[in-house]
Structure 1
Amino acid sequence: MTFEFDRATAVTETDRTEDGARFLAELDAGWGVGPALNGGYLMATAARALRHTVPELPDPIAFSAYFLSAGAAGKAEVSTRVIRRGGTSANLAVDLVQDGATRITALASYGDLSSLPTGVQTTAQPPRLPSVDECLSTKLASAEMRKVATIMDRMDLRLDPAYAGWAVGAPSGEGVIQGWIRLPDGREPDALSLLWMLDALPPVTFDLGLPGWAPTLELSAHIRAVPAPGWLAIRHATRNVAGGMFEEDCELWDSAGRLVAQSRQLARLPR
């Protein structure tokens, strides 16, 4: 069985050299937010091309992407370059281009998460969340909202009611959005889907009473472990709005209670 996420991020290799490879992708309109495609979806597609470039080291460990223009549904070219290849890790570069315009350019470190120690030691605390059933499903969103943000149908997302008041014009003002997330068709999480989930929620500025599209300038992600099957707890937060920009920190905790992915992005305030 081929899951929707894997079909949507599929790439086809067209050329390979000692230094890298080229791929074609067909970007899916179902992963959109307004007129643009979700940035995490673009990262996951680029990350899959990197996985094919160094198949012996299949997992993104660190991924830092710059967003240069908005992605759109349709054909895209993905080119990868091997900067350094070692026995346990590789440093790589990737560009995703449409119609001559670079959508994202990224640097990444790849390895094999399954070969790493499984223990996680952390002083971080998982978010305090109501149960999945006590949270608010995005399936409750209006048909109009779902038409604008087609990505909502690509995930099963349950939002903590304490930080979902923005949906009815009553944001908490704390700059937090959190809840539970999983893929809706039974696909269990892995490194590539974690990379997408780190950018899957609405901009955290919604909870500050600032709705609208918030273009990402840069996003750095760290994938820390192979996630256990099941729901993931997700938390987005911001602490500083300055110069017309804000940072958004994201954490993903797996069903075993481990912090498996983290990210920070810098984005412009909604227009």
Structure 2
Amino acid sequence: MEDGLSSFWGPVTSIDWCEKNYVHSSYLAELFNTVSNIPGILLALIGLVNSLSRHFEKRFSVLHISNIILAIGSMLYHATLQQVTHQGDETPMVWEILLYIYILHSPDWHYRSTMPTFLFLYGATFAILHSLVRFGIGFKIHYAILCLLCIPRMYKYYIHTEDVTAKRLLKLYVATVSLGSLCWLFDRLLCKKISQWYINPQGHALWHMLMGFSSYYANAFLMFCRAKQLGWNPKVVHLLGVLPYVKIQKPKTQ
């Protein structure tokens, strides 16, 4: 099918990306942008299994599940290019970053019920408003501000972490999120030129894959830091000698 034609899902009603639509199937608007979310799901599943098997706090299991939900939402969006699925992709992004804010700040928050209650109401209010209004550039600004709120606390954890392998997790996070952002910008801003190339490098699909890894690295780093706070003697080991994960040894009294 030619780019821009109606499909099984009907005309495109959301933001269109730099991958030609419905080239491989009438059910998948953007094949590469859809399947590129699979690595993120697999990595989140690995993180979830590690969190559950080692009895980390429930917040980390919820965090890995939120990564899975976000990836599935992205798959649905890029498979259909419909406004409703676009909103279904963006809303979990905000929920996930609110969860990161909670995990980063909760150890030093003295009023235990106040912050989660506020963040829950904030996320619920945003979901309702976002279902009614197309925010456009406003969403990107809002999301960027929420992300910026995480940076000082992440940096604090980094400078107070002495373990070299744990520090490497955050360095890998910064590297993958930076490279992924460049791929996103490259795909978005230079689409007209890219469309004339013989091979499309699929910058947005690369963004999905790199963000899957960056989320995994960030989660592992936060799990290490929390285990250190709780006195669980964490250390970073590698699955099959490649993929890092956090192993702990709780005191017998716990």
Q: TM-score, normalised by structure 1?
A: 0.29
Q: Which has the larger radius of gyration?
A: 2
The answer to which structure has the higher strand fraction is 1
Taking CA–CA contacts closer than 8 Å with sequence separation of 6 or more, which of the two structures ends up with the larger relative contact order?
2
The answer to which structure has the higher helix fraction is 2
Q: TM-score, normalised by structure 2?
A: 0.30
